[in-house]
Amino acid sequence: MRIFTNGKLTVLLTPTHVFRWPRRGEASVVARESPEATDFDESGHLLVSSKGEEITGAWASAFDPATLLDCGLVDDRRAAFLHHDQTLTWGPPPDGGEWEHRVDLSAHRSEFPDWARPMRMGPRGVRQDLEGEDLEYELERLEAAGAGFPHGVVLANAHGIGVASNFSGNVALFRPDQEAPALRFRLGVVDEDRIYARPTRTGLLVTVVFNGRFSTILHVDERGALRAHVPEQQGGRTPMLAMGRYALDVHDSTAYTRDAKLAVVSELDVTFRPACAAASPDGKHFAIADGFGADMALFSVSAKGAIREIDRVSYADLRRQASAEEARVDAIRRYALDRLEGTPTIGFAAKPVVSPPWTVPSGDFALPLVVRSAGGPGRGVAVRLSGAALEGVTATRVRLGDAEATFSPDDDGLRAELPDVALPPGVVLPITPPPAGDEQKAMADAQLRETHLELVVHGHAAGPSGALLRVEVSALGATSSPLKWMRPLTVK
């Protein structure tokens, strides 16, 4: 899990969702369709600017999510990436060019400081019973394990980039404009332990968690001297946060502000043990979230170090609400009326669609005739006119959309064919499946309307009349009977 806050907006990244929680307005959640995942951190990578804009994509062409160990934002312009080959790169998006800074850390090797020995973080020992080749092999293995930053973790901010590896125990601080480490040392840990190194103006805030059961925190200055530490305590903790003149430490379910000597300035029970925490760039707020899909909370830190809860929200509820909404939208999106198969057929309009009345003016006219595709899919429509109305009316052509055809004599009437008109498959009536809710009713109406065709007969009427007009509309090449329609054609 990853979390970001600027005091006005909190963003939480989980393996399945991204939550955006503003202090004012409604929280939102978006499912992650293809989470970026590595073999170290299944949550992926989150780079959010100080304004709350998700900017990971600005560097998308500069790294491969499958081979990226970790990354962090130095500032809104620069980001740092630790790659699988243990190359550390940082700077603005390279945009096809070279990184502003690139350092190969694969051969990096630091020494154990004297102060690490009494805190069970000195050099790893070997079994006393090993001799000869077995002893030599174990010593060589330990020596090889001390190189580079395999499975490294990156914590970055305006003070620089802190890199740490629980496999090698190496810890290093790179200032934003320097490729040589400003601080480097090594701690004796095992694979199940975790080391986190947060840059500060004077050095590093280091959090060490032993197998998730015990933890300690350290303040190491740029000379490598141990300025302060909190003795090992039972229980894990999130990496310490740098918040201006204070450090923010969450041990189990209690948040502490600490001074430069890591002495407690104030504390507050946050009621749950967080899985992730983040400080705002101005150091005035921090946000935490637990790992069980329940709470995330926002806090403020005063100029005197006092902690105050601003608000909290259940992101489990947000996720459930979003899942319910996604299911509803998906059901609407997938809603489709049952369609007819077989021979193409032309039928009368189905409500709520109606065909306009057969009333035209004297002189040039356009008579709309609305029909429906009421069978299987097909192509081509034929229109035939006959009846006493043709004695005072001259029909010249018929149009359907962009298609047009002229009428030709056909026994006692006129006929025109539109061979390129597509006939969609008709819908089963009554409508199946029945729509549920207003959204599906609107979709059912739209799908029904799509099966209707508006033919427009153009012609000239000599004068007022009310004689009968017979209309036949059929699907070309179909064996189905044509639609037969007869009513008075009113000429005004």
Tens of pLDDT, residues 344-376: 999 999 999 999 999 999 999 999 999 999 999
Amino acid at 292: F
Q: From CA 167, how far away is CA 105, in angstroms rounded? A: 14
C-alpha R_g of the chain? 37
Q: From CA 116, how far away is CA 123, in angstroms rounded? A: 9
Reported as a single tens digit per residue, the pLDDT across 319-342 is 788 777 777 777 777 888 999 999
**Is the CB of residue 413 less than 8 Å from the CB of residue 390?**
yes
Residues contacting 200, CB < 8 A, separation 6+? 159, 219, 242, 247
pTM (two decimals): 0.68
Amino acid at 10: T
How much is the pLDDT for 191?
79
Among candidate residues 41, 50, 43, the one with its CA nearest the CA of residue 19: 43
Q: In angstroms, what CA-CA distances link 185 with 72, 77, 161?
A: 21, 29, 15
CATH 2.60.40.10 location in the chain = 346-491
Give per-residue burial for 295-325: e unless 16+ CB within 10 Å, then b: bbbbbebeeebebeeeebbebeebbeebeee
CATH 2.40.128.630 location in the chain = 2-329
Token pair, residue 74, equals 């130095």
Residues contacting 112, CB < 8 A, separation 6+? 121, 122, 123, 185, 186, 187, 188
How much is the pLDDT for 318?
83
How much is the pLDDT for 41?
44
Q: From CA 40, how far away is CA 167, in angstroms rounded? A: 12
CATH T-level topology, domain 2-329: Lipocalin (2.40.128)
Look at domain 346-491 and name its CATH class.
mainly beta
Q: From CA 177, how far away is CA 160, in angstroms rounded? A: 8
**Digits of tens for pLDDT over the chain (492 positions)?**
889 999 999 999 888 888 899 998 888 888 776 544 444 444 567 899 999 898 988 998 888 888 899 999 999 999 999 999 999 999 999 987 789 999 999 999 999 999 998 888 988 766 666 677 766 766 676 777 889 999 999 999 999 999 999 999 999 999 999 999 999 999 998 878 999 999 999 999 999 999 889 999 999 999 999 999 999 999 989 999 999 899 999 999 999 999 999 999 999 999 999 999 999 999 999 999 998 768 999 999 999 999 999 999 988 888 788 777 777 777 777 888 999 999 999 999 999 999 999 999 999 999 999 999 999 999 999 999 999 999 999 999 999 999 999 999 999 999 999 999 999 999 999 999 999 888 889 889 999 999 999 999 999 999 999 999 999 999 998 889 999 999 999 999
How much is the pLDDT for 386?
96
